Structure 1
Amino acid sequence: MLTAIIDYESGNLHSAQKAFQRMAAEVNGGDVVVTSDADVVARADRIVLPGDGAFPACQAALTGTGGLYQAMIEAVDQRARPFMGICVGMQLMARTGHEYRETQGLGWIDAEVARITPTDASLKVPHMGWNDLVIDTAHPVLDGIGTGDHAYFVHSYQMQMSDPDQRIAHVEYGGTVTAIVGRDTRIGLQFHPEKSAETGLRMIANFLKWAP
């Protein structure tokens, strides 16, 4: 079993790699590699797309890096490989992003990405720090995790869902903020599981065992 963490120069890869490798060793989850090689992504059994920065820059970097984009699309769409998007990697799963300018996303989740607008003016954007998850629907990657478990967020934009059935969890931050989305073999986490202590590590382990 091989898990490929896509390197398109838009993510905190070192922390993610260490967390995934640690949990892979614990659950016999096979090998974890960070790669910008489209051939490696094409033959991977699981794919992870991290992302830090702005939606348009991340999308441009992904589509402009040596066949990675097409290899990822074919692996997930045609071969149904389990996929996890993290932070902006999750946001790219949406139809459209509205950070700086309108940018097309992957279209895997029926949502648009827009700036967080808390109803409480005292709440700052970016939404940064720990927040309690509210689970909206069960999912294998959330096995052993429930409402009240917390995760670490750093973001100014969130998914605004057109299909609420694709929202798996949210948090409250002057209103509802989408935290986890999913569909078929795809799941997206707005927070950083590699920085979310036991909750995040459990999700990583569950993803490495997930066989949809």
Structure 2
Amino acid sequence: MNSLTKMALGLIGQLKPLPALEGASTLLHLPAPSLSGGMPLIAALASRQSRREFAPEPLAEQQLSDLLWAAAGINRHELGGRTVPSAMNSQEVLLYVAMPQGLFLYEPLPHHLRLIVASDVRRVTGQQDFVDTAPLDLVFVADHSRLGLVPAAQREAYAYVMAGAMAQNVYLYCASEGLATVIRAWFDRDALSQAMGLQADHQLLLSQTVGGMKAESSA
């Protein structure tokens, strides 16, 4: 579905999720993240870029595990510390994963994905056509109820800082792993909020598409 069609459907309130693949589990247990190997940091920074073409095949289970850990995983278990900074350790940004099997919430402590909506909401995560068929779309959502000690006027800024750090971690992991990714802020917020069943104190921040590199066609 192209961008114009999506915008037209959004205007009439008809930009809707698709049915999820049958037989999706309510919990997807991930293997432990791999904490060794990978590209040196400077090389990953040199390779970091946005790509907007994706192979449709799903990520390997280990890649999915490592990707989510890089974005928001726990790296200091004695403190519950994460791979990204958060004001007063509020951990106010929730990481959702939209896949053909449904919409999942990443829960860092058990390091698993919990099914939230049994629908394929990928098409609603952005106006771009590639989000419909890329293997997964990440959605960063601020839970402002976790920022009770922060003045209300500053909460959005705090959440965007955390989401930006999470997105950059995803970029660096993808550069190291040879995956494609692009961060996005162009989506129908009303349609996506409804599709995700978000609460009143939840705010959509950003989306990020991830997938394998699309093979170049040979002449």
Taking structure 2 as the reference length, the TM-score comes to 0.29
> Higher strand share goes to which structure?
1
Taking structure 1 as the reference length, the TM-score comes to 0.30
Q: Which has the larger radius of gyration?
A: 2
